[in-house]
Amino acid sequence: MDYTQLLFPIAIGLVVYFFMIRPQQKRASDAKAFRQSLAKGSRIVTIGGLHGLVVDLTEDTVVVEVDRGTKLRFDRSAIAREVSSKASAGTDGVATT
C-alpha cells in the first residue's frame, strides 16, 4: 500500500479538528467557566434575550430580577452573557412609557 494515499484523509482529519472541533470545545469551556463565575449583582442577558440582575445563585439555577419585585428562576445554562457595566450605567433595564 502506498502511504501517500493515507496523507489526504489524515490531512482532512487534521483540518476538521483544528478548524471545527477544537474551537467549539474552547467556546464550550469558556461558556462553562463564565456561568460558574456568575455572582450576585451581575447584569446578565439570557439566551431568550431577557435582561436582568442576578439576585440569588445555587449550583444549578440563577434567580434574576427583571423588574422591581419580579424575580425569575433560570438554569445556569440559560445565561448567555453578562452586560458590561458601561452599557448598563445609564439605565436600569426597565422600559418606561
Domain boundaries in the chain?
A: 1-37, 39-91
Q: What is the pTM of this model?
A: 0.67
Residue pair 74/48 in contact (Cβ under 8 Å)? The answer is no
* pLDDT in the model for residue 27: 94
* 88 pLDDT more than 50: no
Per-residue pLDDT tens over the stretch 25-76: 999 999 999 999 999 999 999 999 999 999 999 999 999 999 999 999 999 9
- Which of the following CATH numbers is that of domain 39-91: 2.30.30.30, 3.40.1390.10, 2.60.120.620, 3.40.190.10? 2.30.30.30
Quick one: residue 17, left, alpha or beta (phi over 0 = left, psi -120 to 50 = alpha)?
Answer: alpha
